[in-house]
Chains A and B, each alone.
Chain A
């Protein structure tokens, strides 16, 4: 592994890995087998320079026999390696049933600052999905690696398994065999914030559960997934670790920066270390590398396809915060590194292997109820609901639309939650309630909500959370009343609604200089006006009636006008203008055209089709019986993916900040990459057609 060090450790990261730590890494890497799947563990506090090294072995890659041979050779020189060597030997032995469900194994080498020879590594393995098999393997792993010296360990492990309910499950077990006090670590994934305190109580965790809950809540609110790490040394210890995973790399998701800055504010992370960690991810290719390319990689590339490209990738993996004994708290950051074969023609999305340690796991509480439903629409709606439940984060929120200033969770969750309630599925309603619980903790002092926690409040995000509250019958709550006043304050004399009232917070988040014009973003937008219309007062409908153009309303933040137009129709139907035939006739014509266009297209944009159908039926309820609408519904039903989603097709656009609505220059178009917006829109529309009502 030694020749990989130049790739593994960037040239300019002395603040994270100083010269001495680099020497220790090099020494450790030289003794490790040449399996290029490694991770580096960095302590984030100022003055802490210990850097540890981990290596991942995969059964599917044929690594286990090499692992066994490596550990046997170590054990011949070092008695403390013997338990690890025996464990790996049995794991690699095809004649033994032991551990056959283990797919990945990690050796974690603690490289002490003193420079002394590292003790035997900690060993981690993944556990099977079946809880009974997982428990048996966990207990057997602890017995083999810890021996019978700590009889309470088995009891503590069993209590954690017993306490796992709903979505929570034990995913990995680790044994720190080489430490002065050998312990066991149990990783629990999937637990929801509301379930944490009962879980801690049931498994007999002896720590401060309020403090633990607060840390967990902070973690789930700031990233995509959180794994809990518990330590056992004869009994469950009051230590409490939260591992925070993100679906995107730091360059794409400012949530990394946000969490690191919060850790810095708490004194857990040196600011320069936090900044440097975000620069670690990179893809290194021979084209930009002036040194020799490793021989094994060069040989592999020459033997491979000429359509595949050898490279070496470093990726940020997770942040970990540990509540230690005595109230101490610390933070670490992890990045992984290894070979990456880029195949742009066969794998244009650049999908990569991700260890189960970091990958999303299915929610265990979500059952496939749809399979028992006979009606195709019922089945498709239920399947779509299940997809959205699977993608709902532990925070209760969904995250979509990565744009340079961040990924949305608040606004997106207001929209998806509203559509879920409209399906009438009680599971969708419960998920929407969970989202709202989180959103209510995020209402800002000015009574509004924002695109995400880094953005300033805006009327559109606030309106969608109000729509969610309305759909759940909670519009009378004080939070809603305050938010309605917030929206009202964005209504202009024309009746149109602006997204933002104050320029500077918008300029700050967009990183624009003081002299930049924000005239476009600060203007009245028809899509925002239509979305916020239910809370904007009577003048808004007048504005919408006056700004209809040939049956459509111009969307500023969307590529297609169908979404804005369907919302405008909804607003006008609730106004004194509902019965006026002229605008209704024009919308019918326009929406019919959109539907025909979508059905004729090989690449149907389902999000736009769903809202075109809503616009048409809103203005002409009889159209629900027409062949055209039946064809639209059939197309949506036919094109549902196996996982219950529809291909992402909600195309949000970010115009140039000075571009006015009548002369737009598009800067960025972002899709709902996880298909949340599209799937929610389609299932709510299918439910509307099924039930004969508007969502």
Chain B
């Protein structure tokens, strides 16, 4: 159960047809647990908090690579 596994899952989700098909079937009301279950089905074990952490890391890394340095993202709170 690691953040690294969740990161791998997120990256594979962009290319792996089986994972994508499973995600597309996940209902919009599904909890993060459903994503964890899909990950487990594909040999990637991570918890909900692992996924949340990995999702933020992956977003930040992509922004550093593809983001426009002129685009200002304003702050909107810290969450719960």
The residues of B with any CB-CB pair to A shorter than 8 Å are 10, 13-14, 20, 23-24, 26, 28-32, 34-35, 48, 51-52, 55-56, 59-60, 62-63, 66-68, 70-71, 73-80
A 309-327 to B, binary, CB cutoff 8 A, 1 in contact else 0: 1111010000000000000
> Could you tell me the distance in whole angstroms from the C-beta of B40 to the nearest C-beta in chain A?
16
Residues of B within 8 A of A306 (CB): 14, 62, 66
Contact of B23 among A251, A283, A299 (CB under 8 A): A299
Which 6 A/B pairs are nearest by Cβ-Cβ distance?
A282-B76, A344-B68, A291-B79, A284-B76, A296-B28, A302-B13
Distance in angstroms between the alpha carbons of A350 and B70 in the assembled complex: 11
Closest chain B residue, CB of each to CB of A314: B76
How far is A12 from B78 in the complex, measured between Cα atoms in Å? 11
Query: A402: CB under 8 A from chain B?
Result: no
Other 14 A-B pairs with CB < 8 A, given A288-B76, A295-B28, A348-B71:
A282-B76, A283-B73, A287-B73, A288-B75, A289-B76, A289-B78, A290-B79, A292-B48, A299-B35, A302-B14, A303-B24, A306-B62, A306-B66, A311-B73
Note all chain B residues with C-beta closer than 8 A to A310. Answer: 59
> A313 to nearest B CB, angstroms?
8
Is A627 in the interface zone, CB < 8 Å from B? no
Contact in complex: A309, B32 (CB < 8 Å): no
Rounded to whole Å, the gap between the CB of B55 and the closest CB of chain A is 5
- Give, as a whole number of angstroms, the nearest-CB distance from B46 to chain A: 13
- Chain B residues, Cβ within 8 Å of A303: 13, 20, 23-24
A-B contact count (CB 8 A): 111
- Check if B60 sits within 8 Å of A287, measured CB to CB: yes
A681 to chain B, nearest CB (A): 26
Q: Which of A257-290 contact B (CB under 8 A)?
A: 281-290
- Bound-state CA distance A663–B73 (Å) is 33
- Residues of chain A within 8 A (CB-CB) of B68 are 344-345, 348
A287's partner among B35, B63, B66 (CB-CB below 8 A) is: B63
B67-A295 in contact (CB<8A)? no
Q: Is A6 located at the chain interface by the 8 A CB criterion?
A: yes
Contacts of B31 in A (CB 8 A): 295
Is the CB of A307 closer than 8 A to any CB of chain B?
yes
Also in contact, A283 and B76, with CB within 8 A (given A298-B55, A306-B66) = yes
B13 to chain A, nearest CB (A): 4
Task: Please measure, in the bound complex, the distance between the C-alpha atom of A298 and the C-alpha atom of B58, giving whole angstroms.
Answer: 11
**A6 and B24 form a contact (CB under 8 A):** no
Answer yes or no: A23 CB below 8 A from chain B CBs: no
A336, chain B: closest CB distance, angstroms: 14
Whether B80 and A291, one on each chain, are in contact in the complex, defined by CB atoms closer than 8 angstroms, is yes
Task: Given A293-B52, A303-B24, A309-B63, check contact A282 B35 (CB 8 Å).
Answer: no
Q: Contact: A11 with B14, CB < 8 Å?
A: no
Complex Cα–Cα for A97 and B77 (A): 45
